[in-house]
Structures are given as C-alpha cells and as structure tokens.
Amino acid sequence: SMCNPSACRAVGRGLQPKGVRVKETADFKVYTKGAGSGELKVTVKGPKGEERVKQKDLGDGVYGFEYYPMVPGTYIVTITWGGQNIGRSPFEVKVGTECGNQKVRAWGPGLEGGVVGKSADFVVEAIGDDVGTLGFSVEGPSQAKIECDDKGDGSCDVRYWQQEAGEYAVHVLCNSEDIRLSPFMADIRDAPQDFHPDRVKARGPGLEKTGVAVNKPAEFTVDAKHGGKAPLRVQVQDNEGCPVEALVKDNGNGTYSCSYVPRKPVKHTAMVSWGGVSIPNSPFRVNVGAG
C-alpha cells in the first residue's frame, strides 16, 4: 500500500509550543491509521542533544510517546512516517523552568473533553490569598468563547464553547505563566444522537450548601431518565485539592445513587457530568460541618 505521511496526525501536550515544564512528563500520541505502510520514527532534540523517548503501541495504529525534559529551553520533536515528516512536524516546544509553589489549580470535565456546541466546564481554585491574576486561553481547530464566573470564595467557574470537533489545548495562566499541568488537552467530540445533559438532574443532602457532616456518607441521586445514553461521572474535591472518592451505583432505571464521605470539615466541591458535559447547577459547593 502507498505510504501517506499526510494521513498521520500527532496530538498531545508534549507537542504544544508552550506550557510544558522541566521534570514533567511530556506526552503525545501519533495516529497512523489510513497512512499505508511506513516506519514511524520519533526523535526529540533538546538543549543537551537527543532525549530518551518512550514508545508504546496502543493498538489500532495509535502510538503513545513520552519524554521527560530536565533542562529548560527549546525542544524539537520530529515525527516521520516512511522517512517523511508528518503534518506540522518538526514541532518546536519551549520547555519552561520548574513550577514554583503555585497556589492555583484547575480541574473538571472540560479540561479532558466535551461536546461541540455545549459548554465545556471546569473549576479554578486559589489556595490562600494574593494569588495573582488569572488568565485563560483555548487553542485548537476553532475559536472558543470563554466565560469566567468568579464565586468570590477563591474559586471561579470557567466555561468555553467549541463549534468544531478536535483536540484543544486549554491554558490556565497565573500572572501570565501556565499553572502546573497546563495546557490541559481536551478532546471535543461531535454530539451523539439523543444526548441531553441539560435534562439530567442531581439532588439530595450530599449536594446541599449546609447539613453535610464530616465522616458521614453524603448522599445524592442523579436522575438521567431524559438524558439519552451517556456515561455519568462524579468528581469531588476538598478545598485543599484532595480528591474524595465518590461511589456511583446504577439503579438500572435511569437513576444513580451516589455518595462520598468527606474527611475534613472544609468546603467540598462536587462536579457531575453526563457524557463529559456538566449537568445543570454543577459544580455544587458544599460546606462540610464538624458534625
């Protein structure tokens, strides 16, 4: 079969022009399906010469790569198929210095993916006072509309909308510097048939502002009877950034019984998503009492 390097594509954080830092895994994937026969070759050259690159066959013509930069500077990632550069190769990656003790973190479904035409949501939280100026940018196949809703408690809800499927780099900046793990790589997909995250409801004592006590199960129910078919995801974190395990039981009738056990008497945030899209009123902020 013909060798067709233009049918190969490479995506991932380790190929982004900026955001990657030293002592962080820089990873990416190469898709070779439909590119005919050829040999895939990846080299990463940094300020100190050639870097060690780990390769993994993920099946179905997809290969995973990672490198681990130890010195800041410019890294050149060259990806060839049958001896020819694939699209956008060579990639120039500016690796930054180690992340200081940054007091900002971001999490939520919109940093991993989303659906065309629906908002992709995440939370940004500041730990302590005097955090600095936050900034956001989304780079990828189409321009994003971004909205930020400051909650006045050191956190803000961020939403962006995409009109085209593809991979997007979501940058969360503090004083114009990418925070740790930024950019986050989000896979935006076309909407499946009969998909209605806006019709999914969550309610129960575990999502109320008050009344939840430490070391006791905080319970709530998700009603997705009118949501179409999609996976449910529940993420909970306390205000120190520690994830709290959430148990989700499928009741088989379109409803789900959910619970988590808070271990500290501090604010907890729960994000509930359906098919990667936040449901109405998510994120839920819960003030956990000492009981």
Residue 234, domain CATH: 2.60.40.10
Q: What is the pLDDT of residues 155-181, one digit of tens each?
A: 999 999 999 999 999 999 988 889 988
Q: Say what the pLDDT of residue 154 is.
A: 84
Strands 232-238 and 184-189: unpaired
Tell me: do 185 and 201 sit in the same domain: no
Q: Which of 189, 212, 232 is the last residue of a domain?
A: 189
Helix (H, G, I), strand (E, B) or coil at 43: strand
Query: Is the pLDDT reported for residue 51 higher than 80?
Result: yes
Amino acid making up residue 254: G
Mean pLDDT of the chain: 93
Q: Which of 148, 171, 189 is the last residue of a domain?
A: 189
Tell me: do 10 and 52 sit in the same domain: yes
What is the distance between the alpha carbons of residues 173 and 127, in angstroms, rounded to a whole number? 15
Domain of 133?
104-189
Q: Say what the pLDDT of residue 148 is.
A: 94
Contact between 5 and 89 (Cβ < 8 Å):
no
Q: Say what the pLDDT of residue 152 is.
A: 86
Q: Say what the pLDDT of residue 99 is.
A: 74
Question: pTM of the prediction?
Answer: 0.89
Tell me: do 239 and 183 sit in the same domain: no
What is the distance between the alpha carbons of residues 231 and 241, in angstroms, rounded to a whole number? 24
Tell me: do 260 and 208 sit in the same domain: yes
Strands 155-161 and 119-126: antiparallel
| Those residues with Cβ within 8 angstroms of residue 197's Cβ, 6 or more apart along the chain or in another chain | 115, 118, 227, 230, 273, 274, 275, 277, 278, 279
| Between 275 and 4, the higher pLDDT residue | 275
Q: Which H or E run contains 225?
A: none
Number of domains observed in the structure of the chain? 3
Tell me: do 206 and 228 sit in the same domain: yes
pLDDT cut 70: percent of the chain above it: 98
Q: Say what the pLDDT of residue 175 is.
A: 85
Q: Say what the pLDDT of residue 207 is.
A: 98
Query: Is the pLDDT reported for residue 2 higher than 80?
Result: no
Query: Is the pLDDT reported for residue 183 higher than 90?
Result: yes
Q: Specify the DSSP class assigned to residue 279.
A: P
Please state which of the ranges 20-29, 100-109, 141-150 shows the lowest mean pLDDT.
100-109
Q: What is the pLDDT of residues 209-228, one digit of tens each?
A: 999 999 999 999 999 999 99
Q: What is the pLDDT of residues 89-137, one digit of tens each?
A: 999 999 999 877 678 899 999 999 999 999 999 999 987 666 678 899 9
Tell me: do 151 and 74 sit in the same domain: no
Tell me: do 88 and 110 sit in the same domain: no
Q: Say what the pLDDT of residue 103 is.
A: 82
Q: Which of 79, 96, 113 is the last residue of a domain?
A: 96
Q: What is the pLDDT of residues 278-289, one digit of tens each?
A: 999 999 999 999
Q: Say what the pLDDT of residue 127 is.
A: 74
Please state which of the ranges 10-14, 125-129, 188-192 shows the lowest mean pLDDT.
125-129
Please state which of the ranges 84-93, 175-184, 268-277 shows the lowest mean pLDDT.
175-184
Helix (H, G, I), strand (E, B) or coil at 42: strand
Tell me: do 125 and 80 sit in the same domain: no
Q: Say what the pLDDT of residue 176 is.
A: 86
Q: Say what the pLDDT of residue 245 is.
A: 97
